[in-house]
Amino acid sequence: MISRVLSAELSEHAGQRVTIAGWVHRRRLLKSVNFLVIRDRSGLAQVVAKNREMPGEETVVQVTGTVTSNPQAPGGFELSDPELEVLSEPVKAPPFDLYRPGVPATLPTILDHAPVALRHPSLRLAHEISAASVAGFRGALDGLGFTEIHTPKIVESATESGANVFGIDYFGRPAYLAQSPQFFKQQLVGVFERVYEVGPVFRAEPHDTARHLAQYTSLDAELGFVRDHRDVMAVLREAVAGMVESTRERVPAAAGLLPEVPREVPAVHFSEVSDEPDLSPARERELSEWALREHGTEFLFVTGYPMAKRPFYTHPEPGRPEYSNSFDLLFRGLELVTGGQRLHRHEDYVRALGGQTGPYEGYLQAFAYGMPPHGGFALGLERWAARLTGAPNIRQATLFPRDLHRLSP
């Protein structure tokens, strides 16, 4: 490693000669003095020099200098008397000024230039939140006795609705990109009882919306020996609280963006809030506003969705079989999580599939050999990060979004 200190550590080295390394975030040439602001993974550091020869923005440099107090510098210290070594020179100027506090570019420009645009400190935030949230998700579920799993993304049959699945050629046989780890996480309840997975899922979304991607990161969990979907909702509450706490600890810049997770998240039954077969995005927003007004929280469970709109593995509601033991978690006006209790008896699956068990033989083995009552959920990571940062479009919380039109970068 290049031996260096980070920009955030300068204050610990007052008066010493130290080396920092990073990108030239901003170059300011004044009459008598020049400034460089250097950006590294920890933040920004100012370098002050008399020398006129100063490298331009995004040049990668290593600077050795004396740590000197300057209340106007980021962090209150700067490097003076610098010796500067260029590690790599850019061949192009960035598509917009990375040092301006706001981002003076449209979303398509940002996405087309993602490798450099993401260097803007404000555009990194959503991804720092995602990383911290995943750590919190893992920590919360590890603490509850879950085992992390890694399941195939190339599969034999559609796991959700058959409509939005990507087909691929698998050594001459038809196969699909997994729409969710649904079948595997259920099968593995038969092995580990409690499992979770963080991984990519693929949806051939034919429409352009601000909340759908063709590939997104799904935070999945599944657990056995539940009484019904309410036990799953309680675990989800713990997972979300863990995500918030981890983000609070690891991403100071996100502090003002984080919600309170109530001990008991309010829940309404689908039959109380809709006469339609499903909730429209507008209705989800209204319900979120209602929860904030009535319960003072940004989270709301909607339970009992009609069976007709849920996948075949969904457990019906005892006594009202047109409804299901399923739920969505709404957060700040948007569906963030789907989950529920699943069927667990082999004969119930055979019936739910209308006897057409052919493509599901692998999956159905788990039920043939005995499975406990179980359930689980999946949370869309990009939706979460977009809601937290207030990004109106999910692509703003996605590193390299894949959608109807975008396959590069």
237 or 383, CB closer to ligand AMO? 383
Which of 332, 374, 383, 402 binds ligand AMO (CB under 6 A)? It is: 383
Q: Which residue is nearest to ligand AMO (CB)?
A: 380
Query: For residue 4, what are the CA distances in angstroms to 7, 20, 119, 358?
Result: 9, 5, 20, 60
Decide: is 338 part of the binding site for ligand AMO (CB under 6 A): yes
Is 132 an interacting residue with respect to ligand AMO (CB under 6 A)?
no
How far does CA 131 lie from the centroid of its chain? 7
Work out whether 373 is an interface residue with ligand AMO (CB under 6 A): no
Q: Is 377 in the site for ligand AMO (CB under 6 A)?
A: yes
Residue type, 65: G
Task: Look at residue 17 and give its three-state secondary structure.
Answer: strand
CB atoms within 10 A of CB 206: 10
Q: Which is nearer to ligand AMO, 84 or 397 (CB)?
A: 397
Residues in the chain: 409
Determine the interface stretch with ligand AMO among 53-61, 113-121, 188-196, 370-378 (rule: CB under 6 A): 370-378
CB-hemisphere CA count at 13 Å for 214? 18
By CB under 6 A, is residue 395 in contact with ligand AMO?
no
Considering only residues 110, 165, 223, 336, which one is a binding residue for ligand AMO as defined by CB under 6 A?
A: 336
Closest CA to 228 of 199, 197, 267: 267
Tokens standing for residue 151: 């399941």
Paired residues of 314 in beta bridges: 342
Shortest Å, Cβ 359 to ligand AMO: 17
382 binds ligand AMO (CB under 6 A): yes
Q: How far is CA 398 from the centre of its chain?
A: 8
Looking at 57-65, 87-95, 297-305, 379-387, which segment touches ligand AMO (CB under 6 A)?
379-387
CB of 314 to ligand AMO, least distance (A): 8
* Residues numbered 163-182 forming contacts with ligand AMO, rule: CB under 6 A: 180, 182
- How many of the other CB atoms lie within 10 Å of CB of 131? 15
Binding status of residue 403 toward ligand AMO by CB under 6 A: no
How many of the chain's residues bind ligand AMO (CB under 6 A)? 23
194 binds ligand AMO (CB under 6 A): no
Distances in Å between the Cα of 141 and the Cα atoms of 217, 239, 304, 349, 388 are 17, 6, 25, 28, 21
112-115: long-range contacts at Cβ-Cβ below 8 A with a sequence spacing of 24 or more? 112/409, 113/409, 114/399, 114/400, 114/409, 115/409
Segment contacting ligand AMO by CB under 6 A, of 103-111, 138-146, 248-256, 338-346: 338-346
In the complex, the residues that contact ligand AMO under the rule CB under 6 A are 160, 180, 182, 203, 205, 212-213, 216, 218, 335-340, 376-380, 382-383, 394
